[in-house]
Structure 1
């Protein structure tokens, strides 16, 4: 019997296909079948119902703990983003004394100085602004030999690269936890019943902005 999906002989799209994360949260719902299932656990014997009750309590505690883990993972991303903001401000302070930076870079820095820290609403936007600003600074760094000799600037750019890697790793951890949540809340019967009655929905994983995707497609060298 042939493979249902054969990457050697199956049809392919020569033009390629772009993919996007669907910005939609799906609520957990249970039907009459789940209600009947629980009813027959209690009648005619009580013991199965009691066992299932303890299973639901355990599932509820598990899902609550998983929610806290998701929040912790998101907080880690925000922590690294905030550190990148500090690095950017330090770098601009050094570079602007030697060269005239792009106005957009200065506008970004001014906004970061007076704005709120990273949060659920602005996390992706802030990351994109940081990437764009640091990219402009790197161009200036390469164009001016005197800047390359500046040890503090070189250290700051190296720290920025380190933080970028940490953010990528933290996003992967966040997405893994979100995936586990999205799978677990639909695990019937126990977790799904608990999730439905608690009003839980799926969570949306990290999404790259359109600007970041366009930059990734551009030529680097």
Structure 2
């Protein structure tokens, strides 16, 4: 059988394609087949044992033992569901820990941003948008959700981008050791944020797959009302900038 996707002779899109993350949470649901499966775990064995008892196919004592043992699959599945719920809750805490790490790096960038702006203000005039953004963070703005966290990170990227342009345009600024060190710290933190985002998205990928792992985890996730989670994405501004010409 030939390959369905042939990178040598298959149809290609010469213009390429822009891929976007769909901002939608999918709720975990189970159908009638899953309910039948759970009922079958408890009933199939006892029914067969009862049939053997009524038809005297097996001695009475053996048939009764068969009936008792017939409920074991249901009992075992209960323990499996308990373990699955514990696993998903543990994974959820891991997601929170990964998100918190991103918040820590974002907070450090905000502190650096405040210091940098304070130094640059004395040398040049920054545009009003930069000052408004800094003022917002000075007022205690902090991310409270994945969406806000993503927006905050994007805004910080934009602010530091404009500050970096000013930094490169004014040679006198580079002579300030404190400012140069702050910009190096920002570059380092941006790399850490990228790594933290990757780790967060990897954990989310595990979550989004495991909650649909049938039967145990999917049934547990559906009863708990779990949904898929949305990974971090690049902002429209970042995507447009990435397509630009730099040289």
* Structure 1 contact 81–118 (Cα < 8 Å) conserved: no
Unaligned runs of at least 5 residues, structure 2: 47-69
The 5-angstrom pairing of residues 57-76 of structure 1 reads 57-76=82-101
* Residue 220 of structure 1, CA deviation: 2.5
Which residue of structure 2 lines up, in the alignment, with residue 200 of structure 1?
226
1:86 aligns with 2:111: yes
* Residue 138 of structure 1, CA deviation: 1.0
- Aligned-residue Cα RMSD (Å) equals 1.2
Which residue of structure 1 lines up, in the alignment, with residue 212 of structure 2?
186
* Cα distance per residue 1:64-112 (max 9 Å; x no partner): 1111111111111111111111111110111111111122211211111
- More relative contact order, 1 or 2 (CA 8 Å, 6+ apart): 1
Task: Give distance in 2, aligned partners of 1:190 and 1:31.
Answer: 13
Task: Give distance in 2, aligned partners of 1:208 and 1:39.
Answer: 46
* Structure 1 contact 78–119 (Cα < 8 Å) conserved: no
- Name the count of aligned residue pairs: 221
Which residue of structure 1 lines up, in the alignment, with residue 57 of structure 2?
none
The 5-angstrom pairing of residues 43-122 of structure 1 reads 43=43, 44=46, 45-120=70-145, 121-122=147-148
Which residue of structure 1 lines up, in the alignment, with residue 174 of structure 2?
148
Q: Highest CA radius of gyration, 1 or 2? A: 2
Unaligned runs of at least 5 residues, structure 1: none
Task: Give distance in 2, aligned partners of 1:2 and 1:33.
Answer: 35
TM-score, with length taken from structure 1: 0.96
* Cα distance per residue 1:174-205 (max 9 Å; x no partner): 11111111110111110011011111111111
TM-score, with length taken from structure 2: 0.86
* Residue 133 of structure 1, CA deviation: 1.1
